[in-house]
Amino acid sequence: MIKNLFIGSDHGGFDLKLQLLNLINEVTCSTSSFVKQHPQYENNTTENEFLSLSEWKPIDLGCFSLDSVNYTDIAEKVCKNLIEENTKETNLNNLQAVSTIDCLQLPSLGLLICGSGQGMAMKANKYSGIRAALVWNETISALSREHNNANILCLPGRFMDQTTAFKCLLKFLNTPFAQGRHSDRVKKIN
């Protein structure tokens, strides 16, 4: 099953978003040639992490230029699309009901990028069932999935290079929710 990765950025995250979309496209076209062209990913990233990108269809919900936009509007688009898609596919009326199901089992996740990542994360977390995580390295990205079952990854476009951002995205899309004691904690978030 192909899953949706709803992606949005404001003008502060626009360049990083384009870089990530290009990297995703390169990997899905040819994993082996991608690693040869980008040796910075070879040692820390498994081939399976790259191959998993073929399971995701990136859907760019804006912005589409460097013109100033309100990050809140973009975050709203991503959240509403993610909620609609996941509740429709699971036949549940809200994402709270699936908060302890590993988000990797659901049909959609989100990626939001703004200048600092803070504004997008704050707006996204206003939505019931959304657990948006502001991430700045691979370890935090993995923990946001493993311990918090995050369903939206937020990145700081002005403070993160494309290599780090791409590694964070790969960890986010490949780290399962640990469940167990973390399930009870995630239930209390909602």
Question: Where do the H-state alpha helices sit in the chain?
Answer: 14-29, 31-37, 47-52, 71-90, 118-124, 138-146, 162-174, 181-189
For residue 76, count CB atoms less than 10 angstroms from its CB and return exposed for 0-12, middle for 13-18, buried for 19 or more.
middle
Out of 11, 38, 147, 182, which one is annotated catalytic?
Answer: 147
Whether residue 16 contacts residue 114, with contact meaning beta carbons closer than 8 Å, is answered with no
Q: Is 35 helix (H, G, I), strand (E, B) or coil?
A: helix
Whether residue 149 contacts residue 186, with contact meaning beta carbons closer than 8 Å, is answered with yes
Residue 11 is a catalytic residue: no
CA distance 190 to 118: 20
Task: Kindly list the catalytic residues.
Answer: 147
